[in-house]
Amino acid sequence: MPPPLGDAINQARRVRKLTLRQLADQVTKDDGTPISPQYLNDIELHHRVPTPHVLRELARVLELDADMLLATAGAADVVVREYLALHPEHAEGIIRLFRAAQGRGFEEWERLREIVEQKANSSS
């Protein structure tokens, strides 16, 4: 199980020998302005959950997996919403997939991801 979000960010920041200010200066909000060191400190101390945009920025700067950070933050639904915003015609199929998985206790998500990636690679 991955460490809590704040711990993962704190550990990655310390490995890269960055201060709160140095990291905060490199991470921008949706409007393009940098986050504050206090906001970053609140994230590391589990007092605040960053927006998906800030999570992606933290992943970029700290060279972490953005999907792992989103999942750790409990924001996996954001990815689904973004996908459906681009592909609304797939909504019913996505819902049916998750309902079928839920009803059957499906847990092999990593294997399903591998199958999808193999299919995509063979189509290219």
Per-domain residue ranges of the chain: 5-72, 87-123
CATH architecture of 5-72: Orthogonal Bundle (1.10)
Stronger pLDDT, 77 or 39, i.e. the higher one: 39
pLDDT digits (tens, 9 = 90+) for 93-113: 999 999 999 999 889 988 998
Q: Taking Cα atoms as reference points, which of 83, 86, 18, 78 lies closest to residue 54?
A: 78
Hunting for tokens 């060191």 — which residue is that? Answer: 37
At residue 76, the pLDDT reads: 87
Torsion of CA 54, 60, 63, 65, to 10 degrees: 70
pLDDT surpasses 90 at 44 = yes
| Cβ atoms of 91 and 84 closer than 8 Å | yes
pTM score of the predicted model:
0.78
